[in-house]
Homo-oligomer: A and B are copies of this chain.
């Protein structure tokens, strides 16, 4: 199977064979993280970054009283803590939601890339910029959309992101989040997540059975979620 990060970057710009080799050889090892374990802990100062090859992961912050907010959901091809290369200490944790296969890239290798491969560096930078764009989109969804719209928006986004790394099966995706976890990502209570999902089902927009979520009516779902995918930067450009 091709490296999903390469897949993802190639969607946005051309990668030379040399650059692909450099990326591959930056990986020092692959490790497996069990579900419900941290891939990176909050407060740590890692000396390597983790590239998700398989599975689902979440960035999260916890408050003293136990409330939790998930600030990003990561799928194959996402560099879950590339920012720790420069930010140094993690201001949040990264949790494996399912068993995860993770490619480990030492910061020394990243520093070398920045020294020797300007174009590849820009693509890695781009990668973190897209994370930022997604954050902004989530902010507007949290601030100005109803719970139902927010949920619809989230589903649309996740679907497209999975599609760009070839992890969709027709109109259905594998969505291994519990309703409580969905609540933590959307800023809702578990009960309300349930209400909202019922509504989307009743409207015939989605079906969700076990881990399989299928989108029954993409256009209406997009409309309910006021979803426009420009922020995902899926166009091919020279960067």
Contacts and interface: CB of A to CB of B under 8 A. Distances in A.
Contacts of A59: 136
Interface string A157-187: 0000000000000000000000000001011
Contacts of A92: 136
B136 A67 contact: no
Contacts of A63: 144, 226
Given A87-B126, A114-B122, A128-B129, A143 B186 contact: yes
Interface stretch (A96-104, A205-213, A214-222, A231-239): A231-239
Number of copies: 2
Interface in A106-162: 114-115, 118, 121-122, 125-126, 128-133, 135-140, 142-144
Contacts of A135: 132, 135-136, 139
A223 B67 CA distance: 16
